[in-house]
Structure 1
Amino acid sequence: MAAVIVVHGGAWAIPEELSKASVDGVKAAAREGFSVLKRGGNALDAVESAVRAMEDNNMFNAGHGAALNSEGEVELDAIIMDGRTLASGAVSSVKNIANPVSLARAVMEKTDHVMLTSRGANMFAESIGVVTVPTDALVTEYERNEWEKHKNYITGVMEDFNTKWAHDTVGAVAVDCTGNVACATSTGGIRNKMVGRVGDSPVIGAGGYADNFSGAVSCTGHGESILKVTLARHILSYMEQGKTAAEASELALQHMGVRVRGAGGAIVVSPSGQWAATFTTERMAWAAVEDSVLWYGLDPNEKLQEQLSQ
C-alpha cells in the first residue's frame, strides 16, 4: 500500500506576513517525513522526523519559536503515539529542550510511563543525555517583542487565541507501507499562559491519537476546548462508524464549536491511506504527501499541489 504523511503548523489567524514562511515550513516538514517513508521507514519515525523539522523552524510555536508564558519562560509539551501497539509517550512543561517530540518518544520507549512533566521530565532528559539549550536559543525576537507588548494585556484565553498574536501547535500523522499509523504533536502553548498550564497537545486522545484499527489524528487550536471534547479520539470514533476522514474531522470540529465554542483544526490519516486536513479557524498551514504528490494549503477550501522530484 502507498505511504502517506500529513503535517500541520497550527490552526490560528495566521497573518499575511507569516503566511509564506508557514506554508514553506509545513511543505519542508512533509517532504522530510515522506523521505523517511520512502526509504522504508515506519510511520513513527516519519512523524517524529516531520515534527522535529518544525520544532527546528522558528516560524512555528514548538521547540525553537515557542511562546512565552506569563513569566517570560518557555514551557513545552509534546506527544507521540504508535498505532500498532497504542504505545505512547508525552512530556509537558519541559524547559530548555529543542526537540520535545524526541523526548516524548524516549518516555515511550525507555520508561514504564506515558507522560512525564516539568522537573521530572527534565531530570529524565538529563539522565539519558539529552542536550539542553538556553531559553534564549528557543525564543525569537518576534516572540519576545510580542510578549513584551502584550504581557500586561488582560483578556480571556479564547479572545487571546483568536487574535493574530496567538500562534499554535505543530503535528504530523502518517501511515507506512505496512499499514501502521502514528501521530505526533508538539507545542509551546499559548502566549501569556499561566505557569504550568498544559493544553491538549501532550494529552492522549485530545492532542493526538493513533490506532491501527481506525487511524491517526493530530489536533491544533484552543487547547482547553480540545481537551473538553477529547477531539482526537472523537474524530476516530466517527471513523469507526464509517465516516470518511474529512467527514469525521468536520463533525467533531463542529461539535467542539457548538458545545464549547472552541475553534481548531485536525489532520487525519486512515490505515488505508485516506487523509484530511480540516479547520474552523481563519487559517491552518498544512501539507500532505501521497504518491509523490505534495498537497498543501493555508486558507479554507484551498488545496494546492506540486509534483515531488523522483
Structure 2
Amino acid sequence: MKKLVTLVMLSLIVCSCDMPVKEKEDKINTSSMPADQKFGLVIHGGAGTILKKNMTDSLERAYRAKLDEATRAGHKVLSDGGTSMEAVTAAINIMEDSPLFNAGKGAVFTHDGTNELDASVMDGETLNAGAISGVTTVKNPIDLAVAVMNKSEHVMLSAKGAEQFAAEQGLEIVDPSYFYTERRYKSLQKIIDKEKTQLDHDLDKKVTFMDPFIKDSKYGTVGCAALDKYGNLAAGTSTGGMTNKKYNRIGDAPIIGAGTYANNASCAVSSTGWGEFFMRGMVAHDIAAIMEYKEVTLQEAAEEVIQKKLIDLGGTGGIVSIDRDGNVAMEFNTAGMYRAHMNAAGEIDIKIYKNN
C-alpha cells in the first residue's frame, strides 16, 4: 500500500512538472504564427475641393475603379501573407501609374514646366524609414523610398543623387516626358495666367502661396497605411507636390512625421493636403503621439489633429490611418478626399465626397 501511494505521488509530481513545459511550448508555437488576423489597409488619392457638381459621371467611375484596383492589390498582398510594407508599395504603385492622381504618371507641373516627385515610407516595427525628393526620372518614387530605407544607411536622398542611387538599384528610369499629361499642363497654364492677371493689378505679390485658387484646388497626393497578419504597421506617401511650385519646393510627403509615420505602438498614417501646414504641425506623428500619450482611440486622435490643430494653423487636407488593432480613420477638413479601406474579411469601402 505504501509503495502504491508513493507511485501515485510521483506520477502527480511528474504531471505537474510537465504542465508548464507544455504551456511554454504552446506559447512558442503561437508566437511563430500570424499574431493578428485583423489585417487591412486604407488608401487615399488626395484631398481638396472635390465636389459632386464638378465631377462627370465617367470621371467619377474612373476614380472609383482605380481606388478599387489599388486597394485590392494591397489587400491581396496582405491576405497572401505579405508584409504591410509590401502592401503599401503595391497599392501606391497602382496610383503612381495612373494619370488620375498627383503622383508618378499624373504628377503636377512646377512653375518651370517640369515634374518633381517626392515620396516616403516608414516601417512601424523597426521605425526605419526612407524618403526621396525632387526626382524627375524615377517611374515609381515609392519604390525608390523603399530602396533608400532598405539598401542605404540614409533616410532621405534628393534630386540627382537620389536618381543616381535609383539607377544603381536597378529601378525603372524614364525620360521626364513620361510624366507629361495634358490635363496637368493646362492646370499649370491656368494658374500662371491667373497669377499674371493678379500681378498686373498690383495684388498680393505672394499670389502663388496665398491665391485661393491654389489653396482650394484638389491635392492628388497618394498614400497608404497597412496592418499585416503579423501585427506590423507601415505607411507610405507619394506626390508630385503643388502645381506651380517654385525654387525646388518640397512639401510634407517626403518628411517623416509630417506626411508619413508608422509605429507599432500606435498607428500608421499617410497625409495629403497643403504640405507647409502638415510640416509645421508634424501631423502624421502628432496623431500617433496623441494616441500613445493620451491613450485615446485612433479616430479621436485624428479628429483632434485634423479638425482642430491643423485648422488652427490654417491648414487644409486629410489623412488615412490604421492602428495596431485594425481600426481605421479617414479624416479630412476639405470638401472631399479620394479614399478606400479594405478589412480582413474582404469588405471594401470607397468614398470620394464628404459622405460617399
TM-score over 0.5 (shorter chain): yes
| Structure with greater proportional strand content | 1
- Whether 1:146 and 2:146 are equivalent positions in the alignment is no
In the alignment, which residue of structure 2 is the partner of 1:305? none
Amino acid corresponding to residue 203 of structure 1 in structure 2? I
Counterpart secondary structure, 2:105 = coil
Counterpart secondary structure, 1:64 = helix
In the alignment, which residue of structure 2 is the partner of 1:210? 262
In the alignment, which residue of structure 2 is the partner of 1:132? 173
Compare CA radii of gyration and give the structure with the larger one: 2
In the alignment, which residue of structure 2 is the partner of 1:13? 49
CA contact (8 A) 1:61 1:168 kept: yes
**Distance between the aligned counterparts of 2:64 and 2:215, measured in 1?**
20
In the alignment, which residue of structure 1 is the partner of 2:286? 234
Compute the TM-score of the two structures, normalised by the length of structure 2: 0.82
CA contact (8 A) 2:219 2:272 kept: no
In the alignment, which residue of structure 1 is the partner of 2:133? 92
- Whether 1:24 and 2:65 are equivalent positions in the alignment is yes
Counterpart secondary structure, 1:220 = strand
- Whether 1:267 and 2:320 are equivalent positions in the alignment is yes
- Displacement after TM superposition at 1:63 (Å): 0.3
Counterpart secondary structure, 1:8 = strand
CA contact (8 A) 1:13 1:162 kept: no
- Displacement after TM superposition at 1:168 (Å): 2.5
User: After the TM superposition, which of the residue ranges 8-17 and 271-280 deviates more from structure 2?
Assistant: 8-17
**Distance between the aligned counterparts of 1:61 and 1:20, measured in 2?**
18
CA contact (8 A) 1:78 1:91 kept: yes
**Distance between the aligned counterparts of 1:40 and 1:69, measured in 2?**
40
**Distance between the aligned counterparts of 1:255 and 1:34, measured in 2?**
32
Q: How many aligned residue pairs are there?
A: 301
CA contact (8 A) 1:263 1:280 kept: yes
RMSD of equivalent CA atoms = 1.4
- Aligned positions of 1:196-207 closer than 5 A: 196-207=248-259
CA contact (8 A) 2:307 2:332 kept: no
- Whether 1:116 and 2:157 are equivalent positions in the alignment is yes
Q: Can you list the C-alpha shifts for 1:252-272, whole angstroms capped at 9, x where unaligned?
A: 012344432111100110111
**Distance between the aligned counterparts of 2:280 and 2:99, measured in 1?**
29
**Distance between the aligned counterparts of 2:251 and 2:213, measured in 1?**
14
**Distance between the aligned counterparts of 1:265 and 1:50, measured in 2?**
18
Compute the TM-score of the two structures, normalised by the length of structure 1: 0.93
- Aligned positions of 1:165-176 closer than 5 A: 166-176=218-228
Counterpart secondary structure, 1:130 = coil
In the alignment, which residue of structure 2 is the partner of 1:307? none
In the alignment, which residue of structure 2 is the partner of 1:70? 111
Uncovered stretches (5+) of structure 1, i.e. residues with no partner: 303-310
Q: Can you list the C-alpha shifts for 1:156-213, whole angstroms capped at 9, x where unaligned?
A: 435244334x432100000011110000000000100013100000000000100001
Counterpart secondary structure, 1:151 = helix
In the alignment, which residue of structure 2 is the partner of 1:3? 39
